Amino acid sequence: MCTLGTSEYDDDTFQIEEISKNAKVASCVTDSTRTSNTNPLCKKCRYQQVQLVLRNKNQYCRMCFLTMLMHKFKATLGKSKLVRPNDSILIAHSGKANSTALVHLVSSDAYESISKKLRLQCKVLYIDDGMVKGHTVEEREFVRNALAKEAERLRSTMYVVPLTKCLTDVIYEDIQSVSVPQMSIAIEDTVLAETFDTLENDTAKDELLRQLKRKLLVSAARKLNCNKVFIADTSVDLAIKVLGDVSTGRGSQLPFNVAFSDVRHADVMLLRPLRDFTGDEVIAYLDSFKLCPVLNSQKSNFSFPLSIRNIARGFVHQLDSEFYGTVSTIYRTSEKLATKIDELNSVNINMGIDASTDANTDADTNVNNICILCELNLESRLPSEEQLSMVQAKLFSKFISTITVPSSDAILDSLNICEQTDSAQIKTRNTLKRKTCQCHSIACDSPKEQSKIEKYLCYSCRLIFLDSKQMCTTLPNFILTAIEKKLQIACLRKEIKDFLL
């Protein structure tokens, strides 16, 4: 068994008096009685009859199975030493099986004895994304009413916020209680739906939806005064996410997207307490308590059926059904990759700190090196400056495969544009050929110019808007606002740089 860091999660949390009593009674049963009983016994207590079978070999009674899952849940939180008593937790509820089990696990902990309780202050948030998935108002109302009944049954505080609030700054009044009967089509719904319609493929729509939901979840956590967010990602979800991230150019982001904790935000931490759970365990848990998810996971995935992540989901499920251990192999391999990438980033950060001599230059680099959509590094770090990253290699291949071959200086400037300071990028942008903006002014400094937009997006986020029909006119407002702020800061810094010491 794993060793836990705090006294609240000691090994006695998963020992129950019934098991010890049943074990004593089982030891007194005669051999003749055992042979007469044709039903198999639980592999844990060796007394109760089998009620649950996992993978056609792991046989448990209901009590031992639930005790095992509760211990696994508490052990995952305990060994990380990140969750403390009386922490304010926001649970991301998607309405599917995983999040339903997570909410019930946290709610059922309230009925534990005082010595075994986690003592967490939890709130539940549901993000309504039906407007981009083609759901009608009636369907969205049905989901909301079902969640309200679930919150009443579990005695939990549940909120709902529409996905359209990601286009503006979220205020506390925008986060409503799920029991408030208010549902209508707003102007923002149409604007957001049009934004998704301009994207050419399902992969781009799926990626944009994931990033918008993450940003809205973090923003809502800040408004609700929650410093940690629980995400119901199981081992199957993480295995699918590994293949999806690598396929969409987010391989360098594995330490944040797959690990137990996502610390890209300083004030809000994203945690995955179900990362050691399998899909069969979640289904068996729901069946044990007769819980029915509001949304069917299989049907809800058909919103973007041709996306890379949806194809990876089908591939993983089919392969895991034929070869046991597929999910665990991908899942454990991703942990090793994430550790290596994290170590490489730490080494490069330390080297950058030791070699830095100009504080203003360092500040410019740190601000410019963050993607405005996923809020991670624009470029992956390499152990040597002489090596080319995958992004630079693809850009070089793109340049040499075009009809008009640019000069070698233009190629080098384009490859290194993400690593330059604001002043250097302005000079590079002036030397390169400008594209005409929507206002048909060649010297226009509007942030809607495509080259300026791409400069502040990482490679994978750039691919989302690569084949957009109207990239410069239908971008989310927060992206345009962030670009305007960065351009204004760059211009101000350029004006006062001669007066700085």
pLDDT class of 112 with cuts at 50, 70, 90 = low
Return the minimum-mean-pLDDT range out of 138-152, 211-225, 268-282, 384-398. 384-398
d(CA 361, CA 345): 19
pLDDT tens digits, 347-398: 444 434 333 334 444 444 445 688 889 998 887 655 555 556 666 777 777 7
What's the mean pLDDT in 301-318? 87
- Which of 463, 460, 433 lies closest to 449, judged by CA? 433
At 356 the pLDDT is 38
- The Cα diameter of the chain in Å comes to 95
d(CA 266, CA 268): 6
At 334 the pLDDT is 78
pLDDT tens digits, 21-56: 444 444 444 343 443 346 788 888 888 888 888 877
Return the minimum-mean-pLDDT range out of 63-72, 132-141, 472-481. 472-481
pLDDT class of 472 with cuts at 50, 70, 90 = low
**Three-state secondary structure call for residue 199:** coil
- 49's CB contacts (< 8 A; 6+ apart) are 39, 40, 41, 42, 61
Q: Give the CATH number of domain 82-340.
A: 3.40.50.620
pLDDT class of 125 with cuts at 50, 70, 90 = very high
**Structure-model confidence comparison of residues 95 and 170, the more confident one:** 95
pLDDT tens digits, 327-342: 888 988 877 776 666 6
**Structure-model confidence comparison of residues 132 and 431, the more confident one:** 132
At 245 the pLDDT is 92
What's the mean pLDDT in 62-88? 89
What's the mean pLDDT in 455-476? 76
Task: Give the per-residue SS3 of 66-117.
Answer: HHHHHHHHHHHHHHHCCCCCCCEEEEEECCCHHHHHHHHHHHHHHHCCHHHC
Q: Is 121 within 8 Å of 221 (Cβ atoms)?
A: no
Q: Scan for tokens 């969409």, then name that residue.
A: 248
> How far is CA 393 from each of CA 303, 377, 411, 412, rounded to the nearest angstrom?
33, 18, 11, 12
**Three-state secondary structure call for residue 160:** strand
Q: Is 266 within 8 Å of 254 (Cβ atoms)?
A: no
- Which of 71, 80, 100 lies closest to 11, judged by CA? 71
Bridge partners, 377 (sequence order):
370
d(CA 18, CA 64): 10
Count CA atoms within 13 Å of residue 187 on its CB side.
1
**Three-state secondary structure call for residue 123:** strand
At 298 the pLDDT is 63
Q: What angle do CA 469, 253, 105 make, to 5 degrees?
A: 105
At 459 the pLDDT is 87
Per-domain boundaries in the chain: 82-340, 451-500
Residue 240: pLDDT above 70?
yes
d(CA 77, CA 158): 22
- Number of CB atoms found within 10 A of residue 158's CB: 21
d(CA 204, CA 211): 11
pLDDT class of 212 with cuts at 50, 70, 90 = very high
Q: Could you give phi then psi for residue 325, rounded to 5 degrees?
A: 110, 0
**Three-state secondary structure call for residue 161:** strand
Mean pLDDT of the chain: 76
pLDDT tens digits, 264-298: 998 999 999 999 999 899 999 999 999 999 988 66
**Three-state secondary structure call for residue 436:** coil
Query: Residue 402: enclosing H or E segment and its boundaries?
Result: none
At 14 the pLDDT is 37
416: buried, middle or exposed (CB in 10 Å: 19+, 13-18, 0-12)? middle
- 43's CB contacts (< 8 A; 6+ apart) are 58, 59, 60
Residue 444: pLDDT above 80?
no
Output DSSP code: residue 418. Answer: G
pLDDT class of 104 with cuts at 50, 70, 90 = very high
d(CA 393, CA 454): 17
pLDDT tens digits, 242-269: 999 999 988 888 889 988 999 999 899 9
Q: Is 50 within 8 Å of 40 (Cβ atoms)?
A: yes
d(CA 255, CA 479): 24
Token pair in block for residue 485: 């702020």
Residue 495: pLDDT above 90?
no
At 159 the pLDDT is 93
At 343 the pLDDT is 61
Residue 168: pLDDT above 50?
yes
At 182 the pLDDT is 66
Residue 150: pLDDT above 60?
yes
Q: Is 253 within 8 Å of 245 (Cβ atoms)?
A: yes
At 433 the pLDDT is 39
pLDDT-above-70 percentage for the chain: 67
At 7 the pLDDT is 40
Return the minimum-mean-pLDDT range out of 134-138, 443-447, 483-487. 443-447
Task: List the end-to-end C-alpha distance of the chain, in Å, as a whole number.
Answer: 59
At 123 the pLDDT is 93
**Structure-model confidence comparison of residues 176 and 24, the more confident one:** 176
Q: Is 116 within 8 Å of 85 (Cβ atoms)?
A: no
> How far is CA 165 from each of CA 215, 224, 290, 456, rounded to the nearest angstrom?
10, 15, 34, 22
At 18 the pLDDT is 45
Return the minimum-mean-pLDDT range out of 17-26, 133-142, 147-156. 17-26
Q: Answer positive or negative: Cα dihedral of 241, 244, 247, 250.
A: negative
pLDDT tens digits, 402-411: 655 555 565 5
Phi-psi domain of 496 (left: phi exceeds 0; alpha: psi -120 through 50; beta: other): alpha
**Structure-model confidence comparison of residues 176 and 29, the more confident one:** 176
